[in-house]
Homo-oligomer: A and B are copies of this chain.
């Protein structure tokens, strides 16, 4: 890898840039809508060059750090500039809705696409909160689609250099189903939770449980509404499962049957224990 082009320098793209600058010898070219962010990225050494669409011609690797639909549109618009030896990867939180399109464009133009979802983030967004260590010990999900093994291994090796703790492989559908549970549902829960009229008065009455469940309610509504809606098919059943389980616990509380409720709650303990958590 010599030239890495990163499109979109938000928290994820920005952290990718900083990690690549910190842990590799790659030459990093940044493309971003806001000029101010590009200047900041240059100043702190996260990128070595401010790029334009034409910079894609020299890309050995292209990382998409923009919203899912923007990512597809960007590749569609610029596919003719991407060299055939280039590996394109993304960082999007949904896969079924974008990987097939990106794979198809890659096939048509001769370059390679390997889907990627770094399992790291913060409850804040933007370049200012990005950091080189964001991916440390995190899981990196690769969605190879029909990319050749060699290219997938290259992406995996590259990601491990950035500090990821493990690489996990999934199909777009497997990815989306698991993410609907591990990431999207907690965001829905956090929002619904803080909507309670009690929330504004919580201080002094709260501790770790409040803090943890509400943390990600500080949500980027535009991004997450795109992610939720694009992943409807996986997310709605996951929300429904959760609502059913909430309702089952509610019913046991309302019945006032301690033994039944206790048995139900202990299933939670068992599940966590079996996972070693």
* Contact surface of A with B, Cβ cutoff 8 Å: 119-121, 138-139, 141, 166, 168, 170, 175, 177-183, 185-210, 212-222, 224-226, 228-229, 232, 235-236, 238-243, 245-250, 253-254, 256, 258-259, 261-269, 271-275, 277
Contacts and interface: CB of A to CB of B under 8 A. Distances in A.
Nearest to A141: B205
B226 A258 contact: yes
Given A262-B221, A277-B218, A121 B238 contact: no
Given A141-B204, A198-B178, A245-B192, A218 B272 contact: yes
A198 B235 CA distance: 12
A14 B170 CA distance: 46
Given A210-B183, A210-B186, A232-B254, A198 B238 contact: yes
A205 B191 contact: no
A120 B76 CA distance: 53
Given A196-B245, A207-B120, A256-B232, A263 B221 contact: yes
Contact of A236 (B196, B216, B218, B250): B250
| In the complex, the 8 A-B pairs of residues with the closest C-beta atoms, listed nearest first | A168-B204, A191-B268, A186-B209, A181-B198, A221-B266, A192-B245, A212-B212, A221-B265
A139 B205 contact: yes
A250 B239 contact: yes
A199 B274 CA distance: 11
B272 A214 contact: yes
Main secondary structure of the interface of A (DSSP, over half): helix
A218 to B, nearest CB: 4
Contacts of A258: 225-226, 229
A178 B197 CA distance: 10
Contact of A192 (B180, B187, B249): B249
B195 A267 contact: yes
A254 B232 CA distance: 7
B236 A209 contact: no
A202 B181 contact: yes
Contacts of A268: 190-191, 194-195, 217-219, 221
B196 A241 contact: yes
Contacts of A242: 192-193, 196, 246
Nearest to A209: B186
B249 A188 contact: yes
Contacts of A238: 196, 198
B183 A206 contact: yes
Given A177-B198, A183-B206, A238-B196, A261 B228 contact: yes
Contacts of A259: 225
